[in-house]
Structure 1
Amino acid sequence: MTYIEDDNGEVWDLAQKIGFCMLTTQSGADLKARPMSAYIERVENALYFLTDVKSHKDDEVARHPNVCLAFADTKKQKYVSISGVAEVQNDREKIRDLWSTPAKAWWDSPDDPSIRILKVTPSSAEYWDSPGTVISYIKMVAAAVTSAKPDMGENAKVRM
């Protein structure tokens, strides 16, 4: 597998713009995905999520810390898949720093003792940045008619 070493800025930009992702963890022999609101900290090389201690993600991460984050903006045809290592933290100051409107849907305040931080340190990523749904559709139709492969935009594997 060939990786681009210096293109992780595009990964961070797309993840930041999309904001929500599907977090995939391992639960026994099964993989389990659920939607999460991401807090991007490019300077720290980390993505943070607020989670509840009762959600069992902490148990899953303790046993199998490798996770996958899948970001998708289907309207704009932009996708990012980030692989990394997760850890659960109980840093109350960081929880207050990350506290925002999405968190208010789940907890009354950042002082709720059941809130935990899920920190993901990325190791690699892949992104797809297409020109948009209508243009992509036109390119696919043109390629089908001409038997050529369509240029669907940028795709790169990136070491984080």
Structure 2
Amino acid sequence: MGKSISPTENLAGNTAIEKIKTIAENAGTCFFSTNLKTNTNSRPMALQEVDDNGNLWFLSDVTSEKNKDILQDPDVELYFMNNSKYEYVFIKGKASVSQDKVLIDKYWSNFANAWFDGKDDPNVSVIKVTPNDGYYYETKENKLVAMSKMLFAAATGSKIEDGGVEGSLEL
């Protein structure tokens, strides 16, 4: 059977931050994994923003297991998937929890009202993830062209570029 291949383009610094921002914000949600050393816990989380420094911001309940995990061990992994565009990014980083009212105001959204009694709820916290490194994959062409190339490779047994690009992210 054929094997699809993708060119590698490793990114660093501001270019890596821009790639994370584009893919993560388009995806909007991720699997947020904590407690990596013993018994990994993963749950879906809505991203609030990727700031200009590459930090990823989330709202969370201070009494949640994820917040407790972060206090024990700040190492986290984030998995963003935007299947509609074949864009994926994996981030390893350090998380911190804050109840700073300025940050809560900045990242508050009406969507958060489903989990909290408004932004003054005493359980509201903000999680900041500072990325260390990661990996991304995205299509360079539209989804239909990329899928056609992959199907052609599978049907003919040929090795052709699958219409994507991938690489490491160093921050």
TM over 0.5: yes
Gaps of 5+ in 2: 1-8
Does residue 142 (structure 1) correspond to residue 152 (structure 2)? The answer is: yes
Gaps of 5+ in 1: none
In 2, Cα distance between the equivalents of 1:3 and 1:134? Answer: 25
What is aligned with 2:11?
Answer: 4
How many pairs were matched up? 159
What is the SS of the residue equivalent to 1:110? coil
Higher relative contact order by CA 8 Å / sep ≥ 6: 1 or 2?
2
What is aligned with 2:170?
Answer: 159
Does residue 56 (structure 1) correspond to residue 68 (structure 2)? The answer is: no
**Cα pair 2:20 2:54 within 8 Å, conserved:** no
What is the SS of the residue equivalent to 1:43? coil
RMSD: 1.9
CA deviations 1:11-64 (Å, max 9, x no partner) are 211112211111011177211111111122432431111100121212211222
What is aligned with 2:38?
Answer: 29
Query: After the TM superposition, which segments of 4 or more aligned residues of structure 1 sit over 4 Å from their partners?
Result: none
CA positional deviation for 1:108: 2.2
In 2, Cα distance between the equivalents of 1:99 and 1:125? Answer: 27
Q: Which amino acid aligns with 1:113?
A: P
Q: TM-score scaled by structure 2?
A: 0.84
What is the SS of the residue equivalent to 1:33? strand
In structure 2, do the counterparts of structure 1 residues 143 and 57 end up closer, same or farther at CA, with 3 Å as the change threshold? same
- Greater shift, 103-112 or 35-44, is seen at 35-44
Identity %: 30
Q: TM-score scaled by structure 1?
A: 0.89
Does residue 76 (structure 1) correspond to residue 85 (structure 2)? The answer is: yes
In structure 2, do the counterparts of structure 1 residues 149 and 11 end up closer, same or farther at CA, with 3 Å as the change threshold? farther
